[in-house]
Amino acid sequence: MTAITDAPAWANVDLNKVPNIITTPPGPKSQAMHKRCTKYFKGLSGQVKLFPVAFESGSGCTLRDVDGNEYIDFSSGIYVTTLGHCHPKVTEAVQKYAGKLMNCHDFTTEIKTRLVEKLAEILPGDLTGFQFYDSGTTAVEAGQRVLRAATGKHEMLSCFYDYHGKTYGGVSLGHIRSHVYGPVRAPGMHMVPRPDAYRPMWTKADGTIDTDKYIEFFDQYIDRGTVHSVAGFILEPIQGWGGSVMPPDDFFPKLRKYCDETGILLMADEVLTSWGRTGKWLCMEHWDVVPDIVSIGKGFGNGFPVTCVAVREQYKESFESISASSSYGGNPMACAAALASTEVIEEENLLERATHLGELALKRMEQMKAEHSIVGDVRAKGCLMGIELVKDKATKEPFDDAGKIIYRKAFEKGLAWIPAGHILRMSPPIVMEDEVLLKGLDMIDEAIGEAEKELGY
């Protein structure tokens, strides 16, 4: 059995060769290719606009751009390639079905049967009903339909700064603002605050966060702000887009109890947090909470577009009344990628590895917090990490400008990662070696120091 301190041999990185920046990125070839592409391709993410590099290939925990620069990957394709780039077993599984059977709509296949049996075996509680989709947003939308079908109610609760996708239903649950959806949310969508230990809305006499006050507020809001037709409470276990914001350990057990008492179903949007990234199959397992509905995605197929909605036994027949099937959901290639990814996590003991890497990262980031005046908070659960930047540790005023500078400086050093304004987000593959993780964090440390000097701190 592989020890948690050992990364899989296939993903090992030679730090004498990576990172290797041979021309300041984005290099001339990247710039030329980006110019060609964006003549037609529009709507780019913030990270590409900040650093328009063009990638050519990836292997394990590294990326290579078209100018020949080699980077350490702290993004995982924005939380997607949890097992690193081009894992041999996942690649082989997709190749097999690309040459055997690409799609047969939602007819039964042997590979789909094996996948649902595996899911029923490893998921907590009685999460035994499944349907497959091709994107996280689609899974969240399907989850909403299940909530309504199972309860006969129509209203939804979600939380400030959550992210649930870019369809109308997903946007109505989250923090995204766009004029194309009109001046209001979809009818029946409500948002409430969620506990943030670093920026608490309610505290106890000793200054610690008071999670009971949040539950009390939910109850008051439902009574006074809804029409008493709440089907479900949908939220991320850990906020990803919001900045790797971790809940207090007592929050989800209390929320589970409250939902049980009020007849509201609890849906965990685990598109970002699921499938090993935090050291558990589902992040909710950290608090021994079984949701009624779960959306699973991103790392589920390690880059192949496959997502899942899982529901508890008593609600799985609700799939029958929501027109649950989709054109691409559950196709043989997708199921092969998801099953292979699941088997890799088991075979390589990667839940334990993710936990170990998170503990290692948190220890190193705590050092950074002590040494830098603009680092207000650090957090990590498995390979889901964040560093919050502030102008002043006493006022906790967000420092967005610093975040942009640090992002670019670290990228120039050879770290491919995710920007998020004043919160630096990191999601390295869970197959990463200790030394590579620490090297990446050293590069961020250096970039923070350079930004402080540039900004006069």
Together in a domain, 102 and 30: no
Same domain for 69 and 95? no
Q: What is the C-alpha to C-alpha distance for residues 259 and 156, in angstroms, rounded to an integer?
A: 13
Residues 183 and 112 in one domain: yes
Q: Residues with Cβ < 8 Å from 232, sequence gap 6 or more?
A: 143, 144, 147, 151, 156, 157, 264, 265, 266, 267, 292, 293
Band of residue 178 on the pLDDT scale cut at 50, 70, 90 = low
**11 residue type, one letter:** A
User: What pLDDT sits at residue 6?
Assistant: 78
What's the rounded Cα separation, in Å, for the pair 281 and 291? 13
What per-residue confidence (pLDDT) applies to 356?
98
Does residue 67 share a domain with residue 120? no
- Report which of residues 171 and 306 the model is more confident about: 306
Residue 191, classed as helix, strand or coil, is: strand
What mean pLDDT do residues 172-181 have?
76
The secondary element (H helix, E strand) that includes residue 172 is helix 168-173
- Interval 29-51 mean pLDDT: 94
For the chain, the domain total comes to 3
Which pLDDT score, from 0 to 100, does residue 11 have? 83
Give the domain CATH number at 239: 3.40.640.10
Same structural domain, 240 and 381: no
Cross-strand pairs, 268: 235, 294
Question: In the structure encoding, which two tokens stand for residue 254, read together?
Answer: 């209390």
Which residues have CB under 8 Å from 441's CB, separation 6+? 361, 364, 365, 368
Cβ-contact 350, 83 below 8 angstroms: yes
Beta strands in 353-421 (DSSP E): 375-381, 384-389, 415-416
Please, are residues 444 and 387 in contact by the beta-carbon 8 Å criterion?
yes
Q: Is residue 224 located within the same domain as residue 317?
A: yes
Q: Tokens 């709509």 identify what position?
A: 105
Do 382 and 242 share a structural domain?
Answer: no
Type of residue numbered 55: F
The per-residue pLDDT for 352 is: 97
Q: What mean pLDDT comes out for the span 239-265?
A: 96
Res. 2: pLDDT tops 60? no
**48: Cβ contacts below 8 Å, ≥ 6 apart:** none
Mind giving me the DSSP string for 381-396? ETTEEEEEEBS-TTT-
- Structural domain includes residue 417: no
At residue 1, the pLDDT reads 39
pLDDT at 175: 76
Taking alpha carbons only, the member of 436, 432, 297, 272 closest to residue 353 is: 432
Q: What is the pLDDT of residue 4?
A: 57
> Please, what is the angle between helix 350-371 and helix 434-455, to 10°?
30
Span 343-388, pLDDT tens digits: 999 999 999 999 999 999 999 999 999 999 999 999 999 999 999 9
pLDDT at 182 over 90: no
In angstroms, the CA 269 to CA 264 distance is 16
* Domain end call among 40, 73, 106: 73
Q: Is 452 inside a domain boundary?
A: no
Q: Domain for residue 151, yes or no?
A: yes
At a CB cut-off of 8 Å and minimum separation 6, what does 313 contact? 126, 128, 129
Domain-located, residue 422? no
What domain range includes position 381?
Answer: 353-400
The overall average pLDDT reported for the chain is 95
Q: Which of 52, 63, 75, 232 is nearest to 156 (CA)?
A: 232
Residues 6 or more apart from 358 whose CB is under 8 A from it? 278, 279, 380, 381, 382, 383, 384, 385
| 93: DSSP letter | H
Domain match, 193 and 263 both:
yes
Please state whether beta strands 62-65 and 55-59 pair in parallel, antiparallel, or not at all (unpaired): antiparallel
pLDDT at 429 over 60: yes
pLDDT band at 8 (very low <50, low <70, confident <90, very high): confident
Average pLDDT for 108-126? 98
Report whether 309 contacts 293 (CB < 8 A): yes
SS3 at position 425 = strand
| Confidence check: pLDDT of 5 > 70 | no
In a domain, 414, yes or no: no
Domain-ending residue, one of 347, 364, 392: 347
Q: Does residue 289 fall inside a structural domain?
A: yes
Residues 308 and 383 in one domain: no
Q: Is the pLDDT of residue 284 over 50?
A: yes
In a domain, 449, yes or no: no
Residue after which a domain boundary falls, among 73, 104, 130: 73
Is 174's pLDDT higher than 90?
Answer: no
63 and 111 share one domain: no
- Tell me, yes or no, whether 42 and 113 share the same domain: no
| CA–CA gap between residue 186 and residue 181 (Å, rounded) | 9
420 pLDDT exceeds 80?
Answer: no
- Residue pLDDT, tens place only, 313-354: 999 999 999 999 999 999 999 999 999 999 999 999 999 999
pLDDT at 385: 97
d(CA 206, CA 117): 48
> Where do we find the tokens 């041979």?
22
Instruction: Give whole-number Cα distances, 159 to 38, 252, 281, in Å.
Output: 35, 13, 23
In the chain the first and final C-alpha atoms are separated, in Å, by: 48
**CA 292 – CA 387 distance, rounded (Å):** 32
In a domain, 445, yes or no: no
151 and 280 fall within a common domain:
yes
The average pLDDT across 89-112 equals 97
